[in-house]
A and B are shown apart, each in its own frame.
Chain A
Amino acid sequence: MTALTHLSIAAALDALEKKEFSARELTQAHIEAMESRRELNAYIIETPDIALSQADNSDKRRAKGDKAGLLEGIPLAIKDLFCTDNVQTTAASNILKGFIPPYESTVTRKLFDDGAVMLGKANLDQFAMGSSNTTSAFGNVINPWRGDDGRDLVPGGSSGGSAAAVAARIAMGATATDTGGSIRQPAAFCGLAGIKPTYGRCSRWGVIAFASSLDHPGPIARTVEDCALMLRSMSGHDPMDSTSAQRDVPDFAAALTGDLRGLKIGIPKEYRLDGIPAEIDTVWEQGIAWLKDAGAEIVDITLPHTKHALPTYYIIAPAEASSNLARYDGVRYGHRSAEASTLSEMYSKTRAEGFGEEVKRRIMIGTYVLSAGYYDAYYIKAQKVRRLILNDFTAAYEKCDAILTPTAPSAAFPIGENEDDPLKMYLNDVFTVTANLAGVPAMSVPAGLDARGLPLGLQILGRAWDEETVFKVAGVIERSAKFETLPQMLRKAA
């Protein structure tokens, strides 16, 4: 059965269609794998009963000859930021421990309507705030990849559980969210593909908010094509999300032609940073060469405000978060302090006990930058710089069709590193955060391994609503990189 967990989504859909195995068999294989790799802590809760019943329903639909859904019978991990009807949803925070939503997020509903199967709720950085999956109230997630020194590495974050699960073959794909890089960086750290689509492509309804103007749901999977299949199912206008666009959803997978002739790929000089490992530059150069080989024209571009993106992000995201997280007050759901006798204590103790350190830090920063006397200097200033960053992309896309950069400034690092210095941790998002500020689509695709045998990713950014070009370019990198290496823990098993 092991082989079933190593299939791509596309291959599994094919085999299911040909009745080579059933959705129940496929799901059962994943449940067994999931149970055998609990040391990764990729899931907060496993939902094998739901998975099997969804798989059985899928098999029934196929037996009846119903038109197969886009993801008919495919077992997925659901990031525990997506509210799932009648299944605990926590955002990896104690403040939501035990919370059972009486509703289903739009994205997961679309996936399940298309026949997908939920294996469980994937771990994450608390309220999606982090780049290492070490801020979860449910413990760290361990990257299935290991360096040559054998230390436990972070899977990246915030979608660390999603990425670890997909890399460890205990889910075929996973839902994820990306506010500053939380899909792309863990995908890169775990040797996976992941796309943050255009803002407004996937509904945020039912996704626990971190920073509303920056939050993007999207998929993580093992191949570019699998991401394309998942994104197609997850996308589409949602009248319940006022920022969701009325746009047709293309067949993203059809864009994977491998032919880049006529495309111009921009290389932004501002992404060459001092102090970045040489291997990252090497992979980037390699990527450029592959795209050239596939017929693309390489052009130098400039994104002059890139270096201001991270501080801009660390004003806007905490500001929105400080307000979005005000609803966790112990009144209607979630944790309420047992120590509180007055109303004021109920608030301050509940929130002190319920939120983790990083979450509190960001709420404090956000409260401060919005407070009287500081609003213009910080928040309005950041919004203005945000427009300059968007303008950078608009200007760049007059010269090119897509942009190629590294995804992250390093490969996966050991758990505990960067822990004591939040600023150092924030630098993880230095290449990814601009796409969130500008709302443009961006994808990470595995491009090679560093000297320690750890995956490195390249990032492809596209014009708003042009995920197809992003997929097309990513497909070429993927094919050229021939990235087939398995995480160490799976090599013996495979």
Chain B
Amino acid sequence: MSMDKETVRKVASLANIEMDEAELERAAAQISGIIDWVEQLGAVNTDNIEPLANVANIELSLRADSITDGNYQDKILANAPEHTQGFFVVPKIVEQQS
């Protein structure tokens, strides 16, 4: 299924990457080509096959509930593009997140 420019625009917005019309055009062509190519998987018979998310054939190991980390505000903020009074600073959030 080829991707049109509008689909690419929607994907770019979900991915939060600004693209101008020319970029959208180019991306639509390239990504369509790749999507068309991966669609060959549709021909593989996967009846009764469980999806495989991770090959690590081990039990998930858990940690104990102890405080072993944190308390280094300076490290947390050291690379911040903007910070003040211990907070990260971003342009005003106008919409509430759902």
* B-binding residues in A (CB < 8 A): 98-100, 102, 199-200, 213, 239, 242-243, 245-246, 305, 308, 311-312, 314-315, 322, 326, 329-336, 340-343, 345-349, 351-352, 355, 360-361, 363-365, 367-369, 371, 377-378, 380-388, 390, 422-423, 426, 437-439, 464
Contacts and interface: CB of A to CB of B under 8 A. Distances in A.
SS class, residues of chain A in contact with chain B: helix
A364 B12 contact: yes
Given A199-B55, A368-B3, A385-B46, A351 B16 contact: yes
A185 B60 CA distance: 32
A342 B95 CA distance: 11
Contacts of A331: 80-81, 88, 90
Interface residues of B, number: 53
Contacts, number: 164
Which of B17, B31, B37 is the most central at the interface, judged by chain A CB atoms within 10 Å of its CB? Answer: B17
B30 A422 contact: yes
A453 to B, nearest CB: 34
B35 A381 contact: no
B46 A384 contact: yes
B79 A311 contact: no
Interface in B53-98: 53-58, 60-61, 63, 72, 75-76, 78-82, 88, 90-94
A364 B27 contact: yes
B70 to A, nearest CB: 12
Q: Which 10 A-B pairs have the closest CB atoms?
A: A439-B55, A383-B51, A333-B79, A384-B46, A348-B18, A336-B81, A387-B52, A352-B18, A311-B38, A102-B75
B22 interface: no
Nearest to A388: B49
SS class, residues of chain B in contact with chain A: loop
Interface string B7-32: 11001111111110000000100110
Given A364-B8, A381-B46, A388-B46, A345 B91 contact: yes
A386 B52 CA distance: 6
B76 to A, nearest CB: 8
B35 to A, nearest CB: 7
A312 B80 CA distance: 37
B81 A330 contact: yes
Contact of A246 (B18, B58, B78): B58
Given A213-B54, A311-B41, A242 B60 contact: yes
Given A213-B53, A384-B49, 19 more contacts: A213-B54, A331-B80, A334-B79, A335-B81, A336-B82, A361-B34, A364-B8, A367-B15, A368-B3, A368-B35, A371-B11, A380-B51, A383-B53, A384-B50, A384-B51, A384-B52, A387-B49, A388-B49, A422-B30
Contacts of A364: 8, 11-12, 15, 17, 27, 31
A365 to B, nearest CB: 6
Contacts of A377: 42
Contact of B17 (A305, A315, A363, A382): A363
A345 B79 CA distance: 20
A371 B54 CA distance: 20
Nearest to B89: A331
B6 to A, nearest CB: 13
Given A242-B61, A322-B15, A333-B80, A199 B56 contact: yes
Contact of B30 (A361, A367, A437): A361
Contacts of A360: 17, 27
Contact of B61 (A239, A315, A378): A239
Nearest to A372: B14
A381 B42 contact: yes
A308 B79 contact: no
Contacts of B39: 311
A341 B91 CA distance: 6
B51 A352 contact: no
